[in-house]
Every structure is written in structure tokens, then in C-alpha cells.
Structure 1
Amino acid sequence: MPVFRYTGRDRRGRIRRGKITSDNRKEAVSKIKEMGIAVTSIEELKGILYKEVNLNVKKVKNQDLVIYIRQFSTLLKAGISVVETTNILARQTSSKLLKKALEDIANSLEEGKPYSDSAEIHRKIFPPLFINMMRAGEAGGNLDEILERMAVYYEKQHNTTQKVKSAMMYPATVGIISVVVVVFLLSTVVPAFADMFHSFGGELPLITRMVLGLGDFFKKYWWLLLLICLFNLLGIQYLRSNKTTRYYFDFALLKIPVIGKLLQKASIARMSRTLGSLFASSVPIQHSLTIVERIIGNEVLARVIRNSRNSIEKGQSITVPMEKHWAFPPMVTHMIAIGEKSGTMDLMLDKVADFYETEVDNATDQIKALMEPMMIVFLSIMVGVIVSAIAVPMFSIFETIQ
């Protein structure tokens, strides 16, 4: 993504300078305005030094953030002030990055600054949703209720994410172990038997020659296989970093049998839970949709959310673009339409989120139940072929000896 250097003034009239990554200048200005900064100048930085390289370094774990928000909510409900709560949690957290951020926030709070403005400085740690919800709670005087809602929200999001990761990691782990076992057998065990077979002379069976050839290939060109894996990882990273290619990458993911349905349900659950929380906190609908568009994690659904925001600006229903898109099931659009007409949007969205979070749980269990026998059969076939390549010529040798 391009990097932009900007200069502007915040709500207190102070000059603010910084850098921000965005797809284009217009979107960069929009992001800066959402930070409460009026842009006076902005320029794109050129050159290789300003190319974004995302290695996910120095990032607060999602689990640490979930624990922090839950503890924040509990202490605030117990009647402890925001400043004292922040100081207590800064001492208790195990994350060094979060600890440093909380210490800075505590100092800002003691100077009389709002929590949301203080947290906004640490945007790499605190998500935009959390900052905007805190700002809404400060404005409405119900910070304890907002924090309770945020604690529930992030706990559910964390559980859903872990479920999806678990479903994806299981076949990946078994697959990697299978490949390692097969490569080990081909590169060490099979060649040892090959030397013995050659010493007895005679022509080896076709299956044995094929396995031996594959073993030789692994021994000679193992570096090529590593390069292919590395290029694949870099290719996926590039596809995900570019907005245009990310759309087609996410589209392909959603079309994968079984896995695509799981990702679709997880994205809808995230969208519904987020929108429901924002509506319940009286965050303006267009701003809510902007936040959801950025955090939904799938460019296909994000484009539909963007179209829904444009639909509202034209005076139409939020569900018009959703009804025309295959990624949104009729149940979702019907529930949202009912909530829109009855004024119970937050309640309906929570119901949709509850339903699809349960669906994600069921889908992950089904995937694990489906993948386990498939991976066992795959590994059995691979090992069986290698064992057969060794056993068939051994029977021939035994017959010759007899």
C-alpha cells in the first residue's frame, strides 16, 4: 500500500504530523479525518523504503487484548475510576506493548484527556471499533455498559476466530506431518533398501523404480521444493496486500467446498456482531458500516458493505446490495430488513450473530470429523505405496534365494 505523510490539526488545535498507509489519497484523508485530525497537507512518499512490509512484528496478541477489555469492564463496574483501572491493568498485563500503551494512556488521563483520544494514539494496539465505542460511551455517559458490551463482543470474536483457526490448522498440521514422513522415507529408508536390491541384480518392479526416482528427486532438489513453498507464501502475501487481487483471492476462498462456507459464516457472524454492538452504542450507521468494512476480513463482503453505505446515502435500504449478492443468505437480509423497519436493528443483528456463531461451531466440528478419516486414508496410501515398493522386490529376492 502507498504511504502518505500528512500534517493537520486535532480537535484542540494542536499540529499533528504522521504517516499513514492507504490505497489512495482520498481514502487516506478519510482515515485521518476519522482520527479527529483536519488535514492541511498530504503527500505520497515514493521509493522502496516506503513500501509496506507487514511481518506482523510487535503486535499485541488478540488474547491479551480480550483479557484486558474484560478486566477493564469488571474493575469499572466495581466503581474504580478509569485512571486507577488503567494503572492497575498496566501493572498486571503480560504484554510489554500493551503495558507501555496503558502507561501512556494513564499519563494522558491524568492530564485530563479523554480515554478514546489517548487510546487513538496507539491505533496499532487498539482497534478502531474499540476506540469509537469508547468515544460513544464517553459521550453517552455509559462507559461501563459499553465496556461490558465490548468485553462480550471481543470474547465471542476471539472464540469464533480460534474455532476457524482450529478447523484450518488440523488438516494443515496432519498434511505437513504426512509430507515430512513421506520425504523421510523416500530420502533415507528407501535408498538403503535400493542398494541391497541392486546387489542382487535383476530388474526392479515399476513401482519400486518410480519410488526410487522420487526419492532421488527429493535428495537432489529439496532446495527447489523449499523455494516453491517460499514463493507460494510470498505470492499469497502479495495477493492479500493488494486490494484488487485480494478481492479475487477472497472470492476463490469463499468458493472452496466446505472451507468456503465456514469462512462465509465466520465473516457474517463478525459483521453482524460488530454492527449490532455499534448500533446499540448509538454510533451513526454510515460510520458503523465504514468500521465494519475495514474489519470484516473479506474483501468480497467488504465491497457489499461499502455498497450498502452508498445505498443509505441515496435514501435506500441497507439490505438492497445484500439481497443482490450471493454471499449474503436470505435469512440475514430478512432479519436486517425487519430490524430496520421495526427499529430493533441491534437486537436482530445480535440474533443473526448468535445463529452464525453456532453455525461456525458446528461447521468446524464437521470439518474435523470429515478431514480426520480423509487425512488418515491419504497418509495410509502414501505409506502403503512406499512399503509396497520395498516389499515387492523383497519377495522376488526371497524366491530367488529359495
Structure 2
Amino acid sequence: MATINLSKYPLNKKNNVEKKKIDETSIFDFLNKDISIFGSQLNDKKKERFYSELNILFTAGVDIKTTLELIEEEQVKKVEKELYRKIRESVINGVSLSEAIKLTGKFSTYEYYSIMIGEESGRLTTVLDELAVFFSKKIKQKRLVLNALSYPTIVLLVAFGAIFFMLKFIVPMFADVFLRFGGDLPYITKLIIKISKAFSLYAWYFIFCVLGISIFFFLQKQKDWFRRLSADFIMKTPIFGNIIQKIYLARFCHSMNLLISAKTPLLQAIQLVKKMVGFYPIEYSLGIVESNVLKGEPLSLSLSRYPVYNKRLIALIKVAEEVNQLDLVFGKLAKQYTDEVEHQTSLIGSLIEPIMIIFLGLLVTIILVAMYLPLFQLSTSFG
């Protein structure tokens, strides 16, 4: 495999020849975009592509200057082209690749330290490949969850839309008809009419309350108390809590595997993983685990105090510490958790679809029966 000298770079001036801007992207590229809302960093899809291309070109023996030029030239958007131009110019001016991406402010501390360790250990291509795999798996996990929840969400929205229309417009029309004929209405019909009246009176208050709560949650989402409470709620949610826990455990294990296999000291690996996992229970626990490991306590013993880490993970880490194979065990655990998440999300998706259809059908059926039952009684009395 070709090696790349990152300590010295040729001081060539910028090539002013750039490709013509392309304003339209293909539908395929659009569908493969990763979701990024109000994010200051590159989204995961672009990072995965960036690290994958760096790895391929470096492995092929292409020098770093040419590699960055090729990546810069293929960019469509002006902002992204400017980002890669800054990285290329920093590297040409003698800055290491890790420092160059750090200066842009678009990459995480985890990525910076991973690349820096790869440079220092001479395993840069391996680290780049692991980063590409990491972001690829992260994207896949997001899409699995989105695919499992998208159909039920659409069905729920359609159900509530249909119920809203019926309670707001259809039920009041039937209520007027029943009043004209007089007589005692069935209990289920009275109940639906009461719900319709209450809905008409308080619907807007309900909408404003939901909107207000959503805004409050959005403003508080980065605060520790909110992250702790929301994480506790998610963990206690049946079925979905277990899936979310495994997603973050897979991310934790894969990150530890990447850093430890790159010969990162354990304490530094814990510090880096704590900054990038993005799940409060793991972040909080790693902050305390770090100090315990510094005092000489085994990693498995420190992790065992927190329920977010299951017994199987703790047992395997304990064995890995005894045989000095932490990187191997973390890699196997990451794969196992990823496979379990894929299986469970696909299973839930296939089960939720018919359940939601049945739920929607029952709701509409109850309302229709409640409205037509008095009409059947009237027709029977006239007959």
C-alpha cells in the first residue's frame, strides 16, 4: 500500500481553472441526501463520501494535494467547494489534514482526533476507511428508523385528518337532523355528538397548546435536564426504547473499536466517544467512567454501574480486558447491535402497518355506526 507523507507538502499556487457550476442535482442524489436541519456541520452522507474518496485515492497512491483538488472540483454547491478549497490551501501551507479540517469548524472533535491519530500512527487510510464505514452505518440506522416510523406516521395523520373532518363537519350535520326528528338517541351516538361539540369548542386551544409545547421542547432540547428526562422517557418506552438503546450502544462500540484499533489510549478514547455519541445516559456515564479508569478501575466494572449498558456487553468487555482484545470485542458488539436493530426495525415496520390500518378502520367504523344507527331506528319505526 502506498504511503503518504503528511509532514511536507508542495507549495503550489491555487489552480484557477474550475468546472462550470451545475445548478440542478439529480433525483437520485436528492433521495440519497442525509437529513440535516439547521446544522452547522456537514451532514453524514457528505462526510461518508468525503472519507471514502480520501481513502480510495490515498490507497491508490495519489498525493494529498491532487486528492483534495479532485474532491474540490467535483463539488456542485459553491459553499462546499469553498470548504474543500480551504482544506486544500491549509494543507498546502504545511498544516496537517487533521488540523485543516478542524479549522473549518464543520467537523467534530471525534473526527479531528481520529485523523490525527491515523497520521501519527501511519494508519491514516485505515482510519479514513473506518470513518467512512462509521458514517455509512449511522446513515443506515437513521434510515431504518425513519422507514419503520414513516408509514405509521402518515397513516396516523390521515386518520386524524379524517376524524377531524367527520367530527367538525359530518357529525354536526347529522346532529341537526336528529334534533328535528326528536326521540331518544343511542348512547354511542350521544357520545360521538358530545365529542364533536367539545372538539369544535376546544380544537384551536389544543392546537395552540401542542404548538407551544413543541416550541418549548425545541428551545430546551440542548439543556441537560431536558436531555436527561427525554432519554429516561425513551429508554422506558416499550419496544422503541430497546431499539434506540441498541442504536446508541452500536455507535458507542463502533467508536471505541475505531479508536482503540488506531492505538488510541483508553482514556483518550473515552473522552472522544463521550463528545460524539449524542445520547445523554452514555455521555454522563462516560464522564464518571473516565475518572474511575484514571484511578485504576477496570472499564467493565465502571460501566456496570449504569443500566444503559446491558449485562452481555459488560461481560464481554470484562473478558476482552483480561485477554487484551478490546478493539476486537467492541467491533463484534457493534456488528451484533447493528444487526439486531436492522431486524427489529424491519419487524416492527411490518407489524405496525396492518395494526394502523385496522385502527383507522375501527375509528371510522365507530363514527359511521354512531351516525347511521338512529337513521335505521327511524326507518324501522316508520315501517
TM-score, normalisation: structure 2? 0.83
Alignment-derived partner of residue 3 in structure 2: none
Partner secondary structure for residue 325 of structure 1: coil
| Aligned residues of 1:311 and 1:320 also touching (Cα < 8 A) | no
Question: Are 1:74 and 2:56 matched, yes or no?
Answer: yes
What are the ranges of 5 or more consecutive residues in structure 2 without an aligned counterpart?
1-35
**Are 1:64 and 1:95, in contact at CA under 8 Å, matched by a contact in 2?**
no
2:365 matched residue in structure 1: 384
How many Å apart are 1:366 and its aligned residue? 2.6
1:204 counterpart SS class: coil
Q: CA RMSD in A?
A: 2.3
Candidates 240, 243, 250, aligned match of 2:231: 250
Q: 1:302 to 1:81 in 2, by over 3 A?
A: same
Ranked by relative contact order (alpha carbons within 8 Å, sequence separation 6 or more), the top structure is 2
Give the Cα separation in 2 of the matches to 1:103 and 1:216.
62
2:213 and 2:332 mapped to 1: Cα distance? 39
Aligned to 1:104: 86
Q: Contact conserved, 1:335 with 1:348, CA < 8 A, in 2?
A: yes
Matching residue of 1:122:
104
Q: Distance in 1 between matches of 2:151 and 2:319?
A: 39
Supply the distance in 1 between the matched residues of 2:108 and 2:180 (Cα, whole angstroms): 67
CA distance in 2, matches of 1:59, 1:397: 66
State the Cα distance separating 1:239 from its structure 2 match: 5.0
2:74 alignment partner in structure 1: 92
Higher mean Cα deviation, 284-293 or 348-357? 284-293
Q: Distance in 1 between matches of 2:176 and 2:41?
A: 52
State the distance in 1 between where 2:146 and 2:286 align. 24
Identify the residue that residue 342 of structure 1 maps to in structure 2: 323
What residue is the counterpart of 1:316 in the other structure? Answer: 297
- Residue 121 of structure 1 aligns to a residue in which SS? helix
Q: Is 2:95 the counterpart of 1:113?
A: yes
Q: Note if contact 1:267-1:298 (Cα within 8 Å) is conserved in structure 2.
A: yes
**Closer, same or farther: CA 250–71 of 1 in aligned 2, 3 Å:** same
**1:58-207 matched pairs, under 5 angstroms:** 59-94=41-76, 96-123=78-105, 125-207=106-188
2:238 pairs with 1:261: no
Q: What is the one-letter code of the residue matched to 1:182? A: I
List aligned pairs for 1:232-311, cutoff 5 A.
Answer: 232-311=213-292
Q: Provide the C-alpha distance between the structure 1 equivalents of 2:197 and 2:78, rounded to a whole number of angstroms.
A: 49
How far the C-alpha of 1:121 sits from its partner, in A, is: 2.0
**1:60–1:97 contact (8 Å) kept in structure 2:** no
Larger proportion of strand: 1
Report the Cα offset of residue 159 of structure 1.
1.1
Counterpart for residue 393 of structure 1: 374
Q: Structure 1 pair 105/245, CA: closer, same or farther in 2 (3 Å)?
A: same
Q: Deviations over 1:241-276 (max 9, x none)?
A: 211332122112111111111111111101000010
Matched to 1:342, the amino acid is V
**Contact 1:289 1:305 (8 Å CA) reproduced:** yes
Q: Across the two proteins, how many residue pairs are aligned to each other?
A: 348
Tell me, in whole angstroms, the C-alpha distance in 2 between the residues paired with 1:171 and 1:145: 40
- TM-score normalised by the chain length of structure 1: 0.80
Change (3 A) 1:197 1:317: same
Give yes or no for contact 2:248–2:279 (8 Å, CA) kept in 1: yes
Separation in 1 of the partners of 2:373 and 2:207? 32
